[in-house]
């Protein structure tokens, strides 16, 4: 299903917001037209350094098994061990503890296509610590996120999107890999919008929370050519705080990208 770009870029200044909506679990976890290529890449990275991309705490084993069984059941597939699931389920997946008093620590997951972060640095840490590096997130949305997670009920799915910009269309942006950075020479045709489609639900047996992330890349000049979209992207970049721009790796490239966007 194509992203709703006008929803992602509303006619409004940039601000951090949850923008959650009811989701469709079967649709989110179904295989895309690019599935064979994506799954082959997942298995390749897993074969090289599995400990980098697949992490499960002892306390998370039961919840991870339930999460895998849940996702596989959506496609009428039998459940399987975590390492197999990591290579056969197209989106990345993370399992959070259902324990709100511990701020829902990460207890397991398979993240092969991270956006400049590492699962091995996040495993076992509470959600507020994971969000701490994001400028303004805890102060503006921390309590809202906690309340939402506490109220999650089984069998109800939620979705949202997150986006950034990158200098290449690689799916795996693990910090251990050499990642090309955006700089002042950035152009629309050599910049990709990195879209994360995200999924949340509560697992009924373990009370854990399943968080899915499907990453796709979209060339910025192609998006800018769509009706109404160029001025909305321009406004989002113009009104994004310098701190957030720096965190996203956009700050140095922003003037060049804005100049080109305004001329579209």
- How, if at all, do strands 54-56 and 92-96 pair? unpaired
Q: How confident is the model at residue 137 (pLDDT cuts 50, 70, 90)?
A: confident
Q: Provide mean pLDDT across the span 110-116.
A: 97
Listed in sequence order, the residues at least 6 apart from 144 whose beta carbon sits closer than 8 Å to its beta carbon are: 18
Tell me: pLDDT of 1 over 90: no
What mean pLDDT is reported for the chain?
96
In this predicted structure, what is the pLDDT of residue 172?
98
Contact 53, 119 (CB under 8 A): yes
DSSP-assigned beta bridge partners for residue 180: none
pLDDT digits (tens, 9 = 90+) for 187-223: 999 999 999 999 999 999 999 999 999 999 999 999 9
Q: How confident is the model at residue 138 (pLDDT cuts 50, 70, 90)?
A: confident
Q: Provide mean pLDDT across the span 97-104.
A: 95
**Which range (24-28, 113-117, 143-147, 233-237) has the least confidence?**
143-147
In this predicted structure, what is the pLDDT of residue 2?
81
In this predicted structure, what is the pLDDT of residue 135?
87
Q: How confident is the model at residue 256 (pLDDT cuts 50, 70, 90)?
A: very high
Q: How confident is the model at residue 74 (pLDDT cuts 50, 70, 90)?
A: very high
Contact 109, 210 (CB under 8 A): no
In this predicted structure, what is the pLDDT of residue 42?
98
In this predicted structure, what is the pLDDT of residue 136?
85
């Amino acid at each position: 299903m194509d992203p709703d770009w006008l929803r992602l870029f509303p006619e409004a200044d940039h601000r951090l917001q949850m923008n959650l909506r009811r989701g469709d679990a079967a649709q989110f976890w179904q295989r895309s037209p690019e599935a064979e290529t994506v799954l082959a890449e997942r298995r390749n990275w897993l074969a090289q350094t599995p400990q980098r991309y697949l992490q499960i705490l002892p306390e998370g084993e039961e919840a991870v098994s339930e999460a895998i069984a849940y996702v596989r059941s959506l496609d009428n597939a039998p459940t399987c061990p975590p390492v197999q699931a990591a290579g056969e389920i197209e989106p990345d997946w993370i399992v959070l503890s259902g324990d709100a008093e511990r701020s829902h620590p990460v207890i397991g997951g398979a993240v092969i296509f991270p956006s400049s972060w590492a699962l091995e640095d996040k495993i076992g840490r509470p959600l507020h610590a994971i969000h701490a590096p994001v400028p303004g997130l805890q102060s503006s949305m921390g309590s809202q996120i906690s309340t939402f997670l506490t109220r999650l009920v089984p069998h109800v799915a939620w979705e949202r999107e997150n986006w950034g910009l990158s200098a290449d269309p690689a799916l795996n942006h693990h910090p251990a890999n050499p990642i090309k950075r955006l700089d002042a020479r950035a152009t629309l045709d050599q910049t990709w919008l990195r879209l994360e489609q995200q999924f949340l639900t509560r697992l009924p047996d373990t009370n854990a929370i399943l968080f899915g992330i499907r990453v796709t890349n979209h060339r910025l000049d192609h998006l800018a050519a769509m009706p109404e979209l160029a001025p909305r992207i321009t406004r989002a970049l113009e009104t994004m705080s310098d701190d957030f721009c720096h965190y996203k790796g956009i700050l140095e490239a922003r003037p060049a990208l804005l100049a080109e966007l305004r001329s579209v």
